[in-house]
């Protein structure tokens, strides 16, 4: 706050920042170190080895990639999360546009209903969702998981896109319509191309939601091993009897760290939305 | 908007909204209704299939519908029907909550909170009439003292522990409330301190620190895996105990003691959540005009005075909704505790574990015990609580503002 900072304040500031950065970064760094450690141990008695890689092997990566169905898990997750993203965007984009551009009876009620639904976490409706999926014959199948995720993502996507459509000036569409477009053409040709960045961010968030989920996946697709998505699969790998912790760490590096990086990239979009009190993804 | 009107517009709106609304209806609204229905049945692993002759079952339970009926497996155990009495699942959850003893404990707890509640009401009254500058700090201090004196006089911890013995529901909800009460202020404080430091524009390395300090929030997208890494630090042969062993100390089994297990879950969840506060507060700090501080400095205000009388009041509008939102999120925390403790350690036979929070309890009832009827009843009550909390947060964040414009 003072424009000229006293040296003592500066030193204390950096001390706090460094400790906090260590606190923030060490667990992730620890997983990276553990993934290259020799043997099945995550820890080392060597004090230096806790902070820098004193020994390194790709054994864990090799076992994970070639002896375990890691790539199949990744493929399952990509398939499920990809279809979820597609489904959620297809259903929510047109609805968000209608909410943003048209005034019709029941609009406010529906918007608030959506927000109220958003408050209910997936775990709590799990019993009912599982029953519905069983009736449809989709329990234990990837498509069932996609349906459950899509339902969860719909509300968030609709609100997010509606918020963005609200910021696009309506004049453009009106001009297009004066030139002879009908509302559907105006939506497809004018608004959608303009909303491309918002669509991309929303898609990415919907994707990440399905990609990182554990609860629904562990209940709806509990087995067999080659059907699992990557998060529950890695979770059970870490909790299995033989405890191949090094392999878990390797899986963490291969799967979680790219996810974390994508999330970091999304940071500025969060910051923009958060100060408005936006919905947390 | 120019374009269509009348019937054509209605059709267009229906065309645009219907696919989404159908999805919401089938996978969000119908499950809530079905869930309420299941909460009154004895659906569990011993009664996995519906009794389709019961007309309520034939309406509510999708597996009884004619088109899905062929898939229904036959002859697996006795089918489930309505509970006798109907509210059996709920009374199992509430246990002895509605006995005079438990209600007495509840009344004692409420009594201790009365002074704080009164001052809170008074505070809101003051806010509407900013002219009267009573010394609010004294009132709050007095209220805290009065509450504390009442708590000590009535032996509050005993009342709380006694109440938590009365049934699963109260035990789980109280534990979750304690968790929220510990986790939210801690992550707020950490976020505030870091935001205040990072807000100095002239600080070299500021961007780097910002990115690194944001990492935990990014890691919350794979929360359960990240929490597993954390769990390793606190295992019997984990990192912490290895470090202690180097110093010649034999570390305890951290995750086997109710208190330390709880503290560890709080710590890890603070790790996940402080960046949220940091980002919100940083955003709010940047919108405070610099002149205010300059004027305060001319008037000789200390750094502490500036913090209390400029910074904190001005970031309040942004921080308050964020706090409510994050409290609701913390109430629903699942991954951290599940990965670290699995809801344990055990506190007694058939009782929820020391870190068995609301979502963990629901998940365990479904996944491990297959006690679907009871899980549904639990979900109904938590739905109710979350619904009220959400209505409150919507009012606070004014996020529905756009809906009325």
Residues in chain A within 8 Å Cβ distance of B65: 135
Closest partner CB to B68 (pick from A50, A91, A135): A135
Prediction pTM value: 0.87
pLDDT in tens, A218-230: 989 987 888 899 9
For residue A247, being part of any structural domain is answered with yes
In a mutational test of the B interface, the residue from A94, A126, A273 whose CB has the highest number of chain B CBs within 10 Å is: A126
Q: Do B221 and A267 touch (CB under 8 A)?
A: no
Q: Do B10 and A43 touch (CB under 8 A)?
A: no
For residue A280, being part of any structural domain is answered with no
- B41 DSSP β-pair partners: B82
Q: Are A78 and A187 in a shared domain?
A: yes
Closest partner CB to B366 (pick from A91, A127, A163): A127
Which sequence spans correspond to the domains of chain B? Answer: 24-89, 97-166, 168-370
Does A224 sit behind a cis peptide bond, omega within 30 degrees of 0 on the bond before it? yes
Q: Are A73 and A209 in a shared domain?
A: yes
Checking if the pLDDT of A79 tops 90, the result is: yes
pLDDT of residue A64: 86
Q: What is the mean pLDDT of residues A137-146?
A: 91
HSE-up of B377 (CA within 13 Å, CB side)?
23
Residues in chain B within 8 Å Cβ distance of A119: 328, 386-387, 389-390
pLDDT of residue A106: 83
Checking if the pLDDT of A143 tops 70, the result is: yes
**With contact defined as beta carbons under 8 Å apart, do A154 and B20 qualify?**
yes
pLDDT of residue A276: 38
Q: What is the mean pLDDT of residues B20-43?
A: 89
**With contact defined as beta carbons under 8 Å apart, do B370 and B45 qualify?**
yes
Q: Which domain holds residue A11?
A: 7-57
Q: Are A132 and A239 in a shared domain?
A: yes
pLDDT in tens, A146-202: 999 998 888 888 888 888 888 888 888 888 888 888 878 888 888 888 888 888 888
pLDDT of residue B81: 80
In chain A, how many domains are there?
A: 2
pLDDT in tens, B136-195: 677 778 888 888 888 888 777 888 888 887 888 888 999 999 999 999 999 999 999 999
In a mutational test of the A interface, the residue from B4, B7, B16, B382 whose CB has the highest number of chain A CBs within 10 Å is: B16
Q: Do B359 and A245 touch (CB under 8 A)?
A: no
Q: Are A246 and A200 in a shared domain?
A: yes
Specify the higher pLDDT residue, B333 or B392.
B333
Alpha carbon of A211: minimum distance to chain B alpha carbons (Å)? 8
Q: Are A71 and A53 in a shared domain?
A: no
pLDDT of residue A270: 61
Checking if the pLDDT of B275 tops 60, the result is: yes
Alpha carbon of A56: minimum distance to chain B alpha carbons (Å)? 19
CB atoms within 10 A of CB B125: 10
For residue A137, being part of any structural domain is answered with yes
Checking if the pLDDT of A4 tops 80, the result is: no
pLDDT in tens, A14-64: 999 999 999 999 999 988 888 887 765 555 566 677 777 777 888 888 888
Q: Are A48 and A120 in a shared domain?
A: no
**With contact defined as beta carbons under 8 Å apart, do B362 and A91 qualify?**
no
Residues in chain A within 8 Å Cβ distance of B190: 20
For residue A281, being part of any structural domain is answered with no
Q: What is the mean pLDDT of residues B67-87?
A: 77
Distance CA A151, CA A141 (A): 16
Residues in chain B within 8 Å Cβ distance of A117: 24, 28-29, 32
Q: What is the mean pLDDT of residues A269-280?
A: 46
Specify the higher pLDDT residue, B159 or A12.
A12
pLDDT of residue A84: 95
Q: Do A43 and B318 touch (CB under 8 A)?
A: no
Checking if the pLDDT of B65 tops 70, the result is: yes
Checking if the pLDDT of B403 tops 60, the result is: no
pLDDT of residue B186: 95
- pLDDT confidence band for A5 (50 / 70 / 90): low
Kindly calculate the radius of gyration of chain A based on its CA atoms and give it in whole angstroms: 24
CB atoms within 10 A of CB B243: 15
For residue A2, being part of any structural domain is answered with no
Q: How far is CA A3 from CA A10, A192, B307, in A?
A: 12, 46, 15
Alpha helices in A137-266 (DSSP H): 142-167, 171-178, 183-186, 192-194, 196-211, 215-220, 230-239, 245-251, 257-265
pLDDT of residue A20: 93
Tokens standing for A187?
């939506």
pLDDT in tens, B263-274: 999 999 999 999
Q: What CATH number does the domain containing A79 carry?
A: 1.10.3720.10
Checking if the pLDDT of A3 tops 70, the result is: no
> Can you name the CATH fold of B168-370?
MetI-like fold (1.10.3720)
The whole-chain average pLDDT of chain A stands at 83
Q: Are A125 and A259 in a shared domain?
A: yes
- pLDDT confidence band for A280 (50 / 70 / 90): very low
For residue A279, being part of any structural domain is answered with no
Specify the higher pLDDT residue, A185 or B262.
B262
Q: Are A13 and A94 in a shared domain?
A: no
Burial B104-121 (b: 16+ CB within 10 A, else e): ebbebbebbeebeeebee
Interface size, chain A vs chain B, as Cβ–Cβ contacts under 8 Å: 309
pLDDT of residue B368: 85
Q: Are A195 and A267 in a shared domain?
A: yes
pLDDT of residue B405: 38
Share above pLDDT 70 across residues of chain B, in percent, rounded to a whole number? 94
Question: Which of residues A21, A39, A57 is at a domain's end?
Answer: A57
Tokens standing for B249?
């100390």
Q: What is the mean pLDDT of residues A121-127?
A: 83
Specify the higher pLDDT residue, A243 or B347.
B347
Give the ipTM of the model, two decimals please.
0.85
Q: What is the mean pLDDT of residues A118-123?
A: 76
Q: Do A30 and B65 touch (CB under 8 A)?
A: no
Listing DSSP states for B282-323 in one string gives HHHHHTS-HHHHHHHHHTT--HHHHIIIIIHHHHHHHHHHHH
Q: Are A256 and A201 in a shared domain?
A: yes
Question: Which of residues A34, A57, A80 is at a domain's end?
Answer: A57
Residues in chain B within 8 Å Cβ distance of A277: 318, 321-322, 325, 397-399
pLDDT in tens, B88-128: 888 888 888 788 888 888 888 888 888 888 888 887 777 77
Q: Are A48 and A119 in a shared domain?
A: no
């Amino acid at each position: 706050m003072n424009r000229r900072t006293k040296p003592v304040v500066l030193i204390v500031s950096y001390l706090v920042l460094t400790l906090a950065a260590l606190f923030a970064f060490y667990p992730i760094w620890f997983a990276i170190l553990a993934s290259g450690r020799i043997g099945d141990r995550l820890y080392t008695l060597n004090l230096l080895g806790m902070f820098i890689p004193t020994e390194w092997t790709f054994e864990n990566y090799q076992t994970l990639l070639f002896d375990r169905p890691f790539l199949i898990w990744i493929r399952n997750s990509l398939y499920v999360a990809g279809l979820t993203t597609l489904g959620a965007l297809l259903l929510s984009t047109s609805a968000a546009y209608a909410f943003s551009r048209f005034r019709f009876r029941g609009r406010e009620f529906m918007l608030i209903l959506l927000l109220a639904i958003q408050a209910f976490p997936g775990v709590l409706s799990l019993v009912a969702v599982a029953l519905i999926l069983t009736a449809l014959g989709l329990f234990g199948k990837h498509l069932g998981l996609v349906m459950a995720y899509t339902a969860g993502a719909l509300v968030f996507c609709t609100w997010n896109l509606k918020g963005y459509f609200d910021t696009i000036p309506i004049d453009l569409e009106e001009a297009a319509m004066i030139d002879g477009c009908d509302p559907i053409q105006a939506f497809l040709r004018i608004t959608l191309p303009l909303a491309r960045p918002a669509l991309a961010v929303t898609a990415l968030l919907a994707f990440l939601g399905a990609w990182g989920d554990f609860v629904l996946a562990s209940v709806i697709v509990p087995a067999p091993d080659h059907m699992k998505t990557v998060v529950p699969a890695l979770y059970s790998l870490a909790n299995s009897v033989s405890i191949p912790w090094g392999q878990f760490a390797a899986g963490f590096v291969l799967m979680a760290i790219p996810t974390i990086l994508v999330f970091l990239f999304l940071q500025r979009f969060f910051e923009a939305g958060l100060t408005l009190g936006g919905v947390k993804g | 908007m120019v374009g269509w009107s009348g019937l054509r517009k209605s059709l267009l709106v229906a065309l645009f909204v219907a696919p989404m609304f159908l999805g919401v209806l089938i996978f969000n609204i119908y499950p809530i209704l079905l869930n309420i229905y299941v909460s009154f049945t004895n659906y569990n692993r011993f009664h996995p299939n519906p009794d389709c002759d019961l007309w309520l079952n034939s309406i509510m339970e999708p597996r009884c519908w004619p088109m899905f009926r062929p898939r229904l497996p036959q002859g697996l155990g006795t089918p489930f029907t309505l509970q006798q009495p109907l509210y059996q699942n709920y009374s199992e959850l509430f246990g002895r909550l509605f006995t005079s003893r438990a209600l007495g404990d509840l009344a004692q707890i409420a009594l201790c909170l009365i002074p704080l509640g009164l001052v809170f009401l008074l505070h809101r009254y003051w806010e509407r009439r900013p002219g009267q500058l009573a010394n609010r700090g004294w009132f709050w201090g007095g209220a805290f003292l009065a509450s504390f004196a009442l708590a000590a006089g009535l032996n509050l911890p005993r009342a709380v522990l006694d109440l938590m013995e009365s049934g699963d529901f109260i035990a789980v909800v109280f534990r979750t409330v304690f968790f929220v009460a510990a986790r939210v202020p801690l992550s707020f404080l950490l976020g505030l301190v870091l935001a205040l430091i990072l807000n100095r524009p002239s600080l070299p390395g500021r961007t780097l620190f910002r990115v690194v300090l944001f990492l935990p929030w990014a890691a919350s997208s794979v929360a359960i895996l990240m929490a597993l890494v954390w769990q390793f630090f606190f295992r019997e042969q984990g990192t912490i105990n290895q470090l202690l062993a180097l110093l010649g100390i034999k570390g305890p089994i951290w995750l086997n003691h109710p208190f330390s297990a709880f503290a560890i879950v709080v710590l890890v969840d603070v790790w996940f959540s402080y960046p949220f506060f940091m980002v919100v507060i940083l955003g709010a700090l940047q919108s405070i005009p610099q002149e205010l501080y300059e004027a305060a400095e001319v008037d000789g205000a200390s750094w502490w005075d500036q913090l209390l009388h400029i910074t904190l009041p001005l970031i309040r509008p942004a921080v308050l909704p964020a706090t409510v939102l994050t409290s609701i999120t913390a109430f629903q925390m699942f991954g951290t505790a599940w990965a670290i403790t699995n809801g344990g350690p055990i506190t007694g036979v058939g009782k929820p574990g020391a870190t068995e929070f609301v979502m963990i309890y629901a998940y365990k009832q479904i996944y491990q015990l297959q006690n679907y009827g009871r899980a549904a009843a639990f979900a109904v009550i938590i739905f109710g609580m979350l619904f009220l909390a959400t209505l409150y947060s919507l009012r606070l964040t004014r996020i529905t503002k756009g809906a009325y414009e």
